[in-house]
Amino acid sequence: MKETVNKNITLALSKGRIFEDTLPLLEEAGIKVSESPEKSRKLIIQTSDPNLRILILRASDVPTYVQYGAADLGIAGKDVLIEHSAQQPGGLYQPIDLNIARCRLAVAVRKDFNYKDVVKQGSRLRVATKYIQSTREHFAAKGVHIDLIKLYGSMELAPLVGLADAIVDVVSTGDTLKANGLVAVEDIMPISSRLVVNQASLKNRGVFLQPLLDAFSRATNLHE
Ligand code: ATP
Ligand code: PRP
């Protein structure tokens, strides 16, 4: 009996900036997405390509769906990928930096907090973040001892109410820090979003995935 080949491709995205920034890349590949996840509230969205569907997930869940093969490929920020691979290493191939959702990971403190002196004196620093792995690595490399407090969002609040001396968060325009009386005192790394591909999908169904990977590559170069 002839084996049927599964040509269907599932792409995992998060709604908001990654979904919005991916639409033009898909359009370059001739693929239109008719529904907005914000409006329809659907979690599975079809596209003009009958073989391509999109899953709408929390940003930090995208690598998990791709790693376990529930999605063939996905788009996630470098910040999210570093945290994910520290928890659940392996199974993900990262072929393309799409250069979308660009920001930077930075250390920020209250305007009146003397970060340099505290670090120079070798005092312990209380740091609140959702980026545990990147934060640990950053301060370990500097030889600064920290107490880490894990948060899931609204990090800017922590130094204002005495929960932490510093935060590690992504910064783009700097408006959120400014609005909360905080300043960035150290850049940790530039961040952008990358395409991640399930290694087994690439191995077994690479012929169907490759045209989409090539289209993402071309579109990224065009947008640079
Ligand atoms: P989750 O919903 O899982 O908590 P999140 O709220 O960080 O994650 P988004 O706000 O959609 O998810 O951000 C997606 C990605 O976009 C982040 O992982 C980061 O790489 C990047 N990003 C976050 N904030 C900004 C920003 N202000 N400007 C540009 N890029 C950003
Ligand atoms: C992100 C991040 C900062 C803000 C930085 O929040 O957590 O708070 O962007 O951007 P800015 O430097 O341009 O102000 P986001 O807007 O994604 O809100 P969320 O974390 O609640 O999703």
pLDDT reported for residue 218: 92
174: amino acid identity, one letter: G
Ligand nearest, relative to CA of residue 18? 1
**Can you give the three-state secondary structure of the chain, one letter per residue?**
CCCCCCCCEEEEEECCHHHHHHHHHHHHCCCCECCCHHHHCCCEEEECCCCEEEEEECHHHHHHHHHCCCCCEEEEEHHHHHHHHHHCCCCEEEEEEEEEEEEEEEEEEECCCCHHHHHHHCCCEEEEECCHHHHHHHHHHHCCCEEEEECCCCCCHHHHCCCCCEEEEEECCCHHHHHCCEEEEEEEEEEEEEEEEEHHHHHHHHHHHHHHHHHHHHHHHHHC
User: pTM for the full model?
Assistant: 0.95
* Cα–Cα distance measured from residue 153 to residue 49, given in angstroms and rounded to the nearest whole number: 36
Range list for CATH 3.40.190.10 in the chain: 9-102+192-223, 103-191
192: CA distance to ligand 1 center in Å?
10
Q: Taking 70 as the threshold, does the pLDDT of residue 65 lie above it?
A: yes
103: CA distance to ligand 1 center in Å?
9
pLDDT reported for residue 69: 96
* Cα–Cα distance measured from residue 44 to residue 48, given in angstroms and rounded to the nearest whole number: 14
- pLDDT tens track for 127-177: 999 999 999 999 999 999 999 999 999 999 999 999 999 999 999 999 999
Assess whether the C-beta atom of 117 lies below 6 angstroms from ligand 2. no
- pLDDT tens track for 185-200: 999 999 999 999 999 9
Assess whether the C-beta atom of 211 lies below 6 angstroms from ligand 1. no
pLDDT reported for residue 223: 67
For the domain bounded by 103-191, which CATH number is listed? 3.40.190.10
Nearest-atom number in ligand 1 for the CA of 101 is 30
Assess whether the C-beta atom of 212 lies below 6 angstroms from ligand 1. no
Mean pLDDT of 33-62: 94
Choose the residue to mutate in 170, 177, 191 for probing ligand 2, maximizing ligand atoms within 8 Å of C-beta: 170
61: amino acid identity, one letter: D
Class of domain 9-102+192-223: alpha beta
